[in-house]
Amino acid sequence: MNKLDSYIARSVLMASLVVVIVIVGLDAIFTLVDELDQLKGDYQFVQALEFMTLRLPRRAYEYMPMACLIGCLAGLGGLAASSELTVMRAAGLSVTRISIAVLKPVALLMILSMVTAEFAIPTLERIAQAQKAVAQGKDDALSNKGKGYWHREGDLFMRFTAIEPGGVLHGVTLYEFDSAQNLIRMRTAERAIYQRAHWSMENVRDLDVTPDRTIATHFDTLDWNTELTPASLSVVMVQPRDMSISNLYSYTRYLERQGLNADNYLLSFWRKVTQPLGTFALVILGISFIFGPLRAVTPGYRIFSGILVGLVYKYAEELLAPASIVFGFAPIWASIIPIVGSATAGIYLLRKAG
């Protein structure tokens, strides 16, 4: 039986890996084409290609649930089409045993995905975004053309055009407000370099705003004391979906202590935490299809069905995420509801087939 388990697991694993390579490869081509429209300054084809390459692990992580579903349908469906599943069932292999054999390679892929998401993706994303921003132009401190990076510390709002992972900020703009939310100071700097316990700002323009007049002052260099450090900038530089689970948890707690809205970070946190469960639920649903309605159809139809089910699952998550904010229910339910729905449907169909 161990040989049969290994044979099933290998078939599903190889099919899943092929699906990942194909999907990520196609996505990489589309990403590169999109980046070619953003060539600017020192950001040319080579830099765009490097940017696309650095983001490949992130795309593989995002597509992994759908890849596992399609890999299950393709690998297990191939065994069904060649009547190998029928022989295995006749030899005494139960549906439950086959399902466990399918879930083993999926668990391996999930472990690799979680490790990548926790350690590799946040670092690679910071490097990619920093290199792109610096190459496209780092002197647009007052420009609104780019989104930039925003951070808040009490009544001080910060915007950075580009952030280098080594502790260098470009295009720094600081907006300071009083308790009545009136702007009292605006400070811009061409660059800021972290030096042990403080930042050294270069080419600084300081505007002191009063009800009667505005006083402008220029400094070649100016020390800036703040709790913001290169380590904490790792949160500012990336979107919530690209942050590690540990950073999402700690930053959510920080926002809650500051009395700020943390829903977007909670949504990303729970989506990452529950992704393995969601993948298992999708695979169980896929297994039930093989033993039920998709047993005798063509491979192309199985793949199409997998893509359709994966998209329905993804869109359900995407719709429930903003719904949790609008209607006020806990963000965790935006991830739990599709998982429970998929798992329930899969287990029901497996019971009927078994």
The DSSP secondary structure of 228-288, one letter per residue, reads: --TTTHHHHHS-GGGS-HHHHHHHHHHHHHTT---HHHHHHHHHHHHHHHHHHHHHHHHHH
Question: What sign does the dihedral 311-14-27-59 (CA atoms) show?
Answer: positive
Angstrom CA distances, 288 to 16, 73, 202, stand at 17, 10, 63
Q: What's the rounded Cα separation, in Å, for the pair 72 and 124?
A: 30
Mark out the alpha helices in the chain (DSSP H runs): 2-36, 45-54, 56-81, 84-90, 95-115, 121-136, 233-237, 245-257, 263-291, 299-327, 332-353
Structure tokens at 307: 């893509």
Local confidence pLDDT in tens for the 354 residues of the chain: 588 899 999 999 999 999 999 999 999 999 999 999 989 888 999 999 999 999 999 999 999 999 999 999 999 988 988 889 888 888 888 889 999 999 999 999 999 999 999 999 998 998 898 888 888 765 444 344 456 788 888 889 999 988 887 789 989 999 999 988 899 999 999 999 998 888 999 999 999 998 888 899 999 999 999 888 887 777 777 888 899 999 899 889 878 887 878 888 999 999 999 999 999 999 999 998 888 877 667 778 888 888 899 889 989 988 998 898 888 888 899 999 999 999 999 999 888 876
Q: Which of 239-263 are b and which e, b meaning 16 or more Cβ less than 10 Å from the residue's Cβ?
A: ebbbbbbebbbebbeebeeeeeebb
User: What is the model's pTM?
Assistant: 0.84
* Sequence-separated (6 or more) residues with CB below 8 Å from residue 210: 184
Q: Give the per-residue pLDDT at 45.
A: 95
Burial 2-17 (b: 16+ CB within 10 A, else e): eebbeebbebbbebbe
> Which pLDDT does position 143 carry in this prediction?
42
Looking at residue 19, its amino acid is V
* Calpha distance 49→52 (Å, rounded): 5
Instruction: Classify 212 as helix, strand or coil.
Output: coil
pLDDT of residue 230: 85
